[in-house]
Structures are given as structure tokens and as C-alpha cells.
Chains A and B, each alone.
Chain A
């Protein structure tokens, strides 16, 4: 059976484009058609850019016809989470308070992809301001998991993961503050990478928690992930926190095997809270890695349990300040009935933000308040250092650390919506990685209750190469990434 165009990976599509078996316009039409057929059920998109995408595809085709060399991601339809600024294109963060915001600038990652010839087909749904683990916190509508429309796609990059799983984009970019790329990738059975903090510029990424936020690719396979990372990584003079570390040739690393590689299995990630069936799939995956020649060994990251509570002090603290600018004065939503300045602030922010965002603003404001700062914010910073030290010590002995991405498979929409604490726990295994600033990838490693399970591979700072190498070896020797959800019925 010939491969349907929209279900291709980026590298497959690149080969077809290069061999003139496919045009960028055909590719784009196919993906747009797929979105039109499926997104009324998945709801991954907030803004669809059909005309703009087709125009860009035509430009690419013209250049190809003129004999220009095809760049790796050129002509390939993709989409961005709606917290990445796009010049002249509405960027809402899935929030009422930014419902009409059109940035006059591009996020650096978006700009890099545009220059690489990417065809932007739309902006993706998400939890409001990237705060959430189920995408139910979107101010507009929740995203549905393509594997089971009654279930959540994960969050906050739910749209980014669901779009890729549903073949509504060849790849997407999400952002990961506490697991927001990896957890939805795990829930939707796709590949999601959170690069090292500082690997990808944050310029133009609307901030949730600045010291933790990082943009990452969501793709159909590991090779695509390597390609996209290579295109967006690098130092940016507009972001002081972006690192001046050379960008590796990530796809080159894929060809190496993992014989003799030392892999740590942290016992804290297999304790209470981990679903039994998910645990079985992860242990199977570890066995597979051993079959491929890796040496897996149980080890300990003793401060793991403190990472989540510390995260829920630090991230909201930063958010309380980052979100102060949405005051109705310059752009976005403003309550027109306000009678004075203070009521304008109060009414605009009360009406413009959703309940989870307000909850975190209050948490963070409290944590930074005079008299509480030392007990909460400062203490949490110290915990962060301890969490990081755990990993530093572990990486003296191990090349990578392997663990489950999430404690469960995708839960039902509405199941945790009224219980913030249990929702927060779905990021239990992803948060420590953000606290330590490390790179980590989630790749499909099997199914439980008919839903995908994600395997998390964590690496040393700026060693995305090794985690991609492990991920690729696993992927090429397992069938999971080739399975697709059934969305054709209608």
C-alpha cells in the first residue's frame, strides 16, 4: 500500500520532494485535507493557516523548479503551539486575555523554521499559558486524544502531540516546563523531546516559568526529532539564557549502536503511583535495551519526591511575575466596564484568566511574599539544587537514565479536571528533569488499555546526541512508532 502523504515522516517526505515524486503543494494540501477531516473531533488547532501555507508551499515548489537545492525541512507542513509568537499571526496562549493578540515579531524557533523553508499550517491548542497536564485548561476547547477521543491528550502541549498522532501535521513544536512536551507525547504515542535548558532560544516563547521553559519538537519518529532539533537549536543573542554551546549533527549520532552503554534505572520512578501495566511496559523496554547491548542497573535519585512540591513553588512564583503584564493596558482583553485603574486591573485579570492560571498566580504570589519567601521560594531553590546534584552524581556512572514518562496512560477527559493535585501528579516523572535543566525524550514503548505508553530517556546537559542514539536504537527494533490511531470513521 502506498504511503498516504499526510502520514509520512518529515524525512520520508523530504526524500519524495527531493526525487520530485511529490510537490510541497501536494504535501500541504494533503495535510490540510487531513486536518479538515479529523480536527473537528481532535480539536488540536486554534488557528488554521490554509492560504498562507499553500502560498509558502508554492514558493518552495517554484524554488525547486528553478533548480535550488532542497533543505531538510523545506516544504514540510508543520504547526506551532500557540505560545510561540508568529509575526502577523494571532498568538493566544489559549487564553481569553490574549484572544486578539497579534505579535509584530517571530519567536526565534519559529523564525529559524521559517528560514529553513517550513510550511506553517496553523497554531496549536494548549493548556492556557502552558499550565496544565490534560489540555482541558484551554480557554477555547479541550483537545481530544486521537487514540480515544474520550481521553485527554495530555498537556500542556496537547495540541502539538495530538496533531502529530492524528497526522494533522508532519511535526510540531511544543514547550516543556514540567513535562509539557513529553507527557502528551507519551499519551499520544509520538516522540517528544525537551532539550537541555538553554539549547533552544526562548525568545518569543510566551513565558510560563522562565527558568524551566524550553521549546521542543514533537515528531513521528526519532530521526525527525533529530532533524527538527538541529534546525531550532543554537545560541541566540536575544536570549541571555541560551547557551553558547555548538550544535551537534544530531542525525549522525543515530547510526551508532548502544552496545556497552551504561543505563541507570532510578528506583524512585518505579514506586508508588506508577500504574502496574505501565510499569510492565517500561520493564519490557529496559529488557529490550539490554538485548541491544546496553548495561542497565538500578540506581537512586534520592531527592525525586521533593521535586514536584518544589516545582509547584518555583514555577508559579515565576509565573506570578511573568503574567503581571496582562493588565489590559496595552493589548489583549480589557474589561470595558471598569471605572478606574484598580477595577480595570481586577476585572480584566479576573475575567481574562482561567481558574488554573489564577490558582498558580496566587500560589506564586504567596510564595514570594514578604515573610514567606525564605520558607517557600528559597527553600524550593535549595531543593532544586539537590535534585540537580542527584543527576550530576548519577551521570558520573551512567550515560543515560531511563524511566517512565508518565505514571499512567492517558486518563479520561474530566477525570481529574476538578482535582488539581492529582492532575499535578501526572508530571511526577517529568518535573525533576526540568528542575535539573536536562534533556529528555519520550518515545512510544507499547500500549496499555489500548493507549500508548511512553519511555523517558534522560541525558547529560547538552548531550541530546546520546538520548537520540538510545531512542533510535530502541525505536528501530520495536514496532510501536508505526502504529496509528484509527480516525478514518465519519
Chain B
């Protein structure tokens, strides 16, 4: 049974850095663009050309390293990773092998209100490869393949974790946290669909209580958080089945097939490449002194954990709220902006976690593309606070704001949604309701206090939700005495 086994997962995360120019030349890193327009002799690896390291890339790597609590290696160097593929114009990738820019670090994930520390083994810099476009349905049947080198030389960081995760959920939480930190530090956009965040997983299982690791498989081609979760789940089942059937897990690289929902073997350990790493003689070793590190440290923004703590300490937000709101930089920024226009943090949090995230999700939008600006949400909350509209009406208004882009005030005015707080007007409605509901009135008068709720509801209904519920409640009680 599956609960007799422990799962061990380690992740290798690749992220494209959002520097303006490539890692070893001045070409633009911009995504998209006509094929082979963001290229030059250097990133095309033409004969005799030489790479020159982009200092900004090193800055970004140090920044990511510090944010992930890593040691920064004073002496680090670039190495060549040799293999052949048409998207790799030099026949080798420039990476970092035995002396990467960042050593040991960690990050904390939060799952089911529990905090867990995941170790980071190392972070290194490398250049990205180009892209092949196969002229045909599948690669094996392709008539020809075209190569686009725009992506060649875009800077990448590879963040390697310790095998510290014990479930697909932990792996997903880790990847989400890495993404959040990289976005907070503004070193990467982390758009999985554009490939600026990619992830490979090493997974093995072992009997509960065992100390020796089981045979691992390496999973590739998981292009979303959901794919990561599903691929790991599939692989755990596959490992368990193999072992329970008296077989063995084979050490190999496997690819996640999203459409079939299975993993398939790519290559065995014996077929693994011998990359023949050696120091790149075209690049001098990087020497990073304390001054350089300090200047980057001083530029670090507030990170997710710090922000979470601030929300809890300064605004009394529940831990769960703080976790959700700080899980993405954009969402946290949205919250902070709202606070400038409305002072009740818990109310803001409720709206963000409720209506805002729901509508973003339904409309498949990112926080950054949210049509309702934070100050507009603040203005809406003020309207509720002042009693201009009810909370229920506010939800309608917010949805309208989301689709039309109009402000809350505009919508309330156009649709005449102001709350009825005029006693004369309310009096008329209340009288009508008392008259039409003699039984509940009698119940109330005979001491059944809960009947007031029904009557309030009837008044609200009659006013199409616009009546001020607190006033209705008070006036009803006064009237029924």
C-alpha cells in the first residue's frame, strides 16, 4: 500500500532572467519576435567570436542567491557542457559545473499551517538554447526542422534543491515559493507558459523508515504546476507498482506526456550524455567580493516571508490570509496599494481572497492584468463603510467594475444602487411587510426573537437589496416594540 512508502523528491528549476540583453552578447532577450531577429555573430556561435559575461546577469544571480539564503561563492567560473543539438549553435552550453555562483541555501514552505524548510544545493548561471520548429505533426515524421536562435543566449539560472520534499504537494509548494521569491526580487517573470520557468524533478520512493534512497527517475517536460503534481503522482504509483510486483525501478530520464497523463522513458542511465565539462577558456573566472555582495544585499526588496510577518504583526491578518496574499508579489503589492485607500486590512483581505481571486480565476487573468485598480477596490470598500451601498450590492458592483472597468461610484450612480437610509422611505416598505406577514409578526410578538430575521429579509427583498439592513433591523424592532 502506498502509505508504507515514503516519497523523496528533489527539483531542478530553470528560470530565465529578465535582463535586457543576453548573457554573453548585447542581443535583446525579448520573448517573441520574428525568428532569428534577436541574434548576432556571438550568440550564433560563429567562428572566432567570443562570449563576454553580462554583469547584470551576475547581479541577478547574486540577488536570487541572497533571497534564497544561499552562500555566494567568491570564486566561481564558467564551464562548457558539450553535446550536439541543432538548437545549440556552439556545440556546447556555457554553464557552471564545480564552482557555481551560489552554494547552500534554503527556503521555507507552508503547507497545512505547517512550515517546512527545503534545502537548496546550488544555483548556477548558464545560457539558454534556441528552439526547433518541426515541419510536421511529430518529430519523427517531420519533413524538416527550422531553428530559431532568438532564445539562444538568454540567461538562465538553474536552482537545484536537496531531496527534501516528501509529496507532490510539497514539491508544488516549493516551486510556488521559488517563483514568488524570483518575482519579488524581480529577476524573472517566471511565466511557465512562455518557458521562463521550467522544472525537472528527481523522484524515488523507499519503505517508511528506511534511510537509504531508492532508485530515482528524472522527470522532464512538466509545463505547469498541475503537470508537476500529476506527473509526480503518476510516478509514485508507477514506482510502487513496480516494487510491489517484485520488480525494480530503473534509473532513467522520463518525459511527462500531458495528453496521455503518463510518463515515458526518454533515455536510460547508460544512454546518459557524457557532457565532458571543462572550464571555458574564453571566460575569466568571476571574483565576487564582499562589497559587490553587500551592494546587492542592500537592493533586496521585502521578501514573501518578511511581508507575511508584517501583515500578521501590523494588521493582525490571520496567518492563512497573509500566506495567500504574499504568495505572489503582485497580489501582495495589490493589497498594500489598497491599504492606502482603505484602512481595514481584514476587509481588504476578505475581498482579495474572495471576489478578486474568484473573478481572476474565472476570467483566467493574472493579478497584473486585473481591470480593477487597488484604489478602486478601496473606494468600493469605502462606499460599504459609509453605508452608501450594502455588502451584497457591493459584490454586484465589483463584478461590474471587473467587466466594464467603470468605477464603483459610476456604477452605483448609473444603476441607482445607493442604499436606502431615508427613514421615510424605509418606513413605507416596513409597514407594507408587517401588513403582509401577520404570522411572523405574531411569532415575534410572542417572544420568538428569530422571526425578526425573516422580516428583515423580506424588507431587503422588497427594496431589491438596497435597504440599509442595520436601519431596517432597528426600525422593525421599534415598530413591533
Residues of A near any B CB (own CB < 8 A): 83-85, 91, 93, 98, 101, 103-105, 107, 202-207, 209-211, 237-241, 317-318, 320-321, 323-325, 327, 329-331, 341, 345, 365, 368-370, 373, 377
B45 to chain A, nearest CB (A): 5
Query: Given the known A-B contacts A321-B91, A370-B274, are A204 and B82 also in contact in the complex, defined by CB atoms under 8 Å?
Result: no
Asked if B86 and A329 sit within 8 Å, CB to CB, the answer is yes
Closest to A370 in B: B274
Question: A247 CA to B47 CA in the complex, in Å?
Answer: 27
B283 contact set on A, CB distance < 8 A:
240-241
A377 contact set on B, CB distance < 8 A:
278
Asked if A104 and B41 sit within 8 Å, CB to CB, the answer is yes
Q: Does B50 count as interface, using CB distance less than 8 angstroms?
A: yes
B142 to chain A, nearest CB (A): 10
B23 to chain A, nearest CB (A): 13
Contact of B92 among A85, A239, A324, A329 (CB under 8 A): A324
Contact of B281 among A204, A205, A238, A318 (CB under 8 A): A318
Indicate with 1 or 0, residue by residue over B430-450, a CB within 8 angstroms of chain A CB atoms. 000000000000000000000
B91 contact set on A, CB distance < 8 A:
321, 323-325, 327
Question: A464 CA to B44 CA in the complex, in Å?
Answer: 35
Indicate with 1 or 0, residue by residue over B46-73, a CB within 8 angstroms of chain A CB atoms. 1111111100000000000000000000
Contact of A238 among B46, B50, B89, B274 (CB under 8 A): B50
A211 contact set on B, CB distance < 8 A:
281
Question: A184 CA to B81 CA in the complex, in Å?
Answer: 35
Asked if A85 and B47 sit within 8 Å, CB to CB, the answer is yes
Question: A88 CA to B147 CA in the complex, in Å?
Answer: 24
Q: Which residues between 248 and 286 of chain B lie within 8 Å of chain A, taking CB atoms?
A: 274, 276-278, 281-284
Q: Does B90 count as interface, using CB distance less than 8 angstroms?
A: yes
Asked if A345 and B281 sit within 8 Å, CB to CB, the answer is no
B124 contact set on A, CB distance < 8 A:
none
Q: Does B80 count as interface, using CB distance less than 8 angstroms?
A: yes
Contact of A205 among B44, B48, B147, B278 (CB under 8 A): B48
Question: A209 CA to B282 CA in the complex, in Å?
Answer: 10
Closest to B82 in A: A321
A326 to chain B, nearest CB (A): 8
Q: Which residues between 86 and 110 of chain B lie within 8 Å of chain A, taking CB atoms?
A: 86, 89-92
Q: Which of B49, B82, B283 has the most CB of A within 10 A?
A: B49
Asked if A240 and B47 sit within 8 Å, CB to CB, the answer is no
Chain A to chain B: the 5 pairs with minimum beta-carbon distance, closest first: A324-B91, A210-B281, A211-B281, A368-B276, A204-B48
Query: Given the known A-B contacts A206-B47, A321-B80, A377-B278, are A241 and B284 also in contact in the complex, defined by CB atoms under 8 Å?
Result: yes
Q: Does B84 count as interface, using CB distance less than 8 angstroms?
A: yes
Query: Given the known A-B contacts A206-B47, A318-B281, A325-B89, are A237 and B276 also in contact in the complex, defined by CB atoms under 8 Å?
Result: no
B80 contact set on A, CB distance < 8 A:
321
Question: A101 CA to B282 CA in the complex, in Å?
Answer: 22
B47 contact set on A, CB distance < 8 A:
85, 91, 93, 98, 101, 103, 206-207, 325
Question: A487 CA to B41 CA in the complex, in Å?
Answer: 42
A342 to chain B, nearest CB (A): 9
A84 contact set on B, CB distance < 8 A:
48
Asked if A204 and B49 sit within 8 Å, CB to CB, the answer is yes
Query: Given the known A-B contacts A368-B278, A369-B274, are A341 and B50 also in contact in the complex, defined by CB atoms under 8 Å?
Result: no
Question: A191 CA to B296 CA in the complex, in Å?
Answer: 51
B281 contact set on A, CB distance < 8 A:
209-211, 241, 318
Question: A330 CA to B147 CA in the complex, in Å?
Answer: 9
B277 contact set on A, CB distance < 8 A:
368
Contact of A365 among B49, B90, B276, B282 (CB under 8 A): B276
Question: A213 CA to B245 CA in the complex, in Å?
Answer: 59
Indicate with 1 or 0, residue by residue over B32-46, a CB within 8 angstroms of chain A CB atoms. 000000000100111
Asked if A327 and B84 sit within 8 Å, CB to CB, the answer is yes
Mind listing 18 A-B residue pairs with CB under 8 Å? Answer: A93-B47, A103-B46, A103-B47, A202-B50, A204-B48, A207-B48, A239-B50, A239-B52, A240-B51, A317-B278, A318-B278, A324-B82, A324-B84, A324-B90, A327-B84, A329-B147, A330-B89, A365-B276
B42 to chain A, nearest CB (A): 8
Question: A237 CA to B24 CA in the complex, in Å?
Answer: 12
Asked if A325 and B50 sit within 8 Å, CB to CB, the answer is no
Asked if A240 and B48 sit within 8 Å, CB to CB, the answer is no
Contact of B48 among A206, A241, A327 (CB under 8 A): A206
Contact of A237 among B45, B52, B86, B278 (CB under 8 A): B52
Closest to A129 in B: B47
B48 contact set on A, CB distance < 8 A:
83-85, 91, 103, 107, 202-207
Asked if B278 and A203 sit within 8 Å, CB to CB, the answer is no
A321 contact set on B, CB distance < 8 A:
80, 82, 91-92, 276, 278
Question: A237 CA to B26 CA in the complex, in Å?
Answer: 12
B88 to chain A, nearest CB (A): 9
B45 contact set on A, CB distance < 8 A:
325
B276 contact set on A, CB distance < 8 A:
320-321, 365, 368-370, 373
B83 to chain A, nearest CB (A): 9
Closest to A203 in B: B50
Closest to A331 in B: B46
Closest to B147 in A: A329
A360 to chain B, nearest CB (A): 15
A93 contact set on B, CB distance < 8 A:
47
Question: A237 CA to B46 CA in the complex, in Å?
Answer: 18
Q: Which residues between 235 and 251 of chain B lie within 8 Å of chain A, taking CB atoms?
A: none
Question: A320 CA to B90 CA in the complex, in Å?
Answer: 12
Closest to A236 in B: B50
B49 contact set on A, CB distance < 8 A:
105, 203-204
A365 contact set on B, CB distance < 8 A:
276
A323 contact set on B, CB distance < 8 A:
91
Question: A206 CA to B283 CA in the complex, in Å?
Answer: 16
Closest to B149 in A: A330
Question: A43 CA to B147 CA in the complex, in Å?
Answer: 39
B467 to chain A, nearest CB (A): 74
B50 to chain A, nearest CB (A): 5
Question: A98 CA to B47 CA in the complex, in Å?
Answer: 9
Closest to A92 in B: B47
A101 contact set on B, CB distance < 8 A:
47
Closest to A201 in B: B50
A352 to chain B, nearest CB (A): 13
A464 to chain B, nearest CB (A): 21
Question: A461 CA to B285 CA in the complex, in Å?
Answer: 20
Q: Which of B80, B90, B91 has the most CB of A within 10 A?
A: B91
B288 to chain A, nearest CB (A): 16
Q: Which of B80, B86, B89, B278 has the most CB of A within 10 A?
A: B278
Asked if A240 and B41 sit within 8 Å, CB to CB, the answer is no
Closest to B53 in A: A240
A37 to chain B, nearest CB (A): 32
A238 contact set on B, CB distance < 8 A:
50, 52
Q: A321-B80, A369-B274 are in contact. List 18 more A-B contacts (CB 8 A).
A: A84-B48, A103-B48, A105-B49, A202-B50, A203-B48, A204-B48, A206-B48, A207-B47, A207-B282, A210-B281, A237-B52, A240-B283, A325-B47, A325-B91, A329-B86, A330-B147, A368-B277, A368-B278
B451 to chain A, nearest CB (A): 81
A476 to chain B, nearest CB (A): 37
A205 to chain B, nearest CB (A): 5
B41 contact set on A, CB distance < 8 A:
103-105
A103 to chain B, nearest CB (A): 7
Closest to A345 in B: B84
Asked if B278 and A341 sit within 8 Å, CB to CB, the answer is no
Closest to A329 in B: B86
Q: Which of A101, A105, A325 has the most CB of B within 10 A?
A: A325
Question: A329 CA to B91 CA in the complex, in Å?
Answer: 11
Asked if A240 and B52 sit within 8 Å, CB to CB, the answer is yes
A105 contact set on B, CB distance < 8 A:
41, 46, 49
B65 to chain A, nearest CB (A): 22
Question: A211 CA to B282 CA in the complex, in Å?
Answer: 7
Closest to B283 in A: A240
A252 to chain B, nearest CB (A): 30
B380 to chain A, nearest CB (A): 55
